[in-house]
Amino acid sequence: MQNQQCKKTESDEQMIRHLNHAVIANLSAGDVAAIITVYDTNAALLMPGAPAFVGIEAISAAWQGLVDTPGISLEAEPVEIEFSESGEMAMDRGWYRLTTATAGGSTVDEGKYLVVWRKTDGQWKMIADMINSNA
């Protein structure tokens, strides 16, 4: 029984890593509609210096603002992904580097993130996505 749980967790961890990379690829492609598919309908996006964006419409608007930023580039990587005992919730903690174009070159913001995922009907969805700048 323990080995079956490990296999499930490994598969789920791979899926969460895949979803993280898909968000980055979709940001590069400017595809906000694809980005928000990883969020639960009542999710919250918590970004530095801004009020909470709660729900798909607000999260979509926040991501659209990022997509519209000139020269935007995002790198991010999970450092740790832990699962609840039931396997229905996960905590994803990692780092990010966000680069934007400026008149004199570019600006880089580095920081960390924390995402809470919930598995519903076999699909992982973000229910809370918090970004915290090191600046």
Output the pLDDT for position 10: 77
Q: What is the average pLDDT across 65-77? A: 94
Residue 51: strand, helix, or coil: coil
* pLDDT interval class at 22 (50, 70, 90): very high
Give residues with Cβ within 8 angstroms of 32, minimum separation 6.
Answer: 26, 60, 63, 64, 67
Q: What is the average pLDDT across 104-123? A: 95
Domains of the chain: 2-133 (3.10.450.50)
Whether residue 2 has pLDDT greater than 80: no
